[in-house]
Amino acid sequence: MTEFSIPVRVYWEDTDGGGVVYHARYVNFFERARTEWLRSLGFDQSQLQRSEDLVFAIHRMAIDFVRAARLDDQLKVTVTPVAFGAASMQFNQQIIRCDRSTGTADNGELIARADVYAACLSASGFTPVRIPESIKDKLESTISTNN
């Protein structure tokens, strides 16, 4: 499967008084990575809403919090598409703390992982709709056939 990733720095606003990332912020980091993944494929979510009457909404997310991220950590947030249905998408996501000495995630620690399920909805009615074939074809191309 093809992995997409973005860097995220932990700022004071992401943490509690002790400098530990507040658990709900991980959801924000995951969301930001999925948004940038779509953007990298040429899909701007606000444009999809206006021109196609489409939005993608999360209907299920299971998160494992493995370690705590802290103030000033450099994180790598990944998106790995797993499957696409007629009106749904499934992803695996990870947040990895980058190694402080190298700045890379090669030897970084796993912070959190999530299984994410999104539904394609009509933006005007918030009812499930099929993912248009032109969009689905591009999304499905991100799944590697070399599993």
pLDDT at site 71? 96
From the candidates 14, 16, 53, 99, give the one annotated as an active-site residue. 16
| 144 DSSP 8-state letter | -
Annotated catalytic residue 16: yes
Chain centroid to Cα 59, Å, comes to 14
pLDDT at site 145? 54
Residue 145 lies in a domain: no
Residue 147 lies in a domain: no
Residues of the chain with pLDDT under 70: 1, 101-105, 144-147
pLDDT at site 91? 96
Global pTM? 0.92
**Burial environment of residue 116 by CB neighbours within 10 A (0 to 12, 13 to 18, 19 or more):** buried
If phi over 0 gives left and psi between -120 and 50 gives alpha, with beta otherwise, what is residue 25?
alpha
Q: What percent of the chain has pLDDT over 90?
A: 84
pLDDT at site 108? 83
Number of domains into which the chain is organized:
1
Residue 14 lies in a domain: yes
Residue 37 lies in a domain: yes
Residue 82 lies in a domain: yes
pLDDT at site 144? 63
pLDDT at site 44? 94
pLDDT at site 146? 45
Domain harbouring 30, CATH code:
3.10.129.10
Residue 100 lies in a domain: yes
Asked if 103 and 74 count as a contact pair (C-beta separation under 8 A), the reply is: yes
Residue 76 belongs to domain spanning: 4-140
pLDDT at site 1? 55
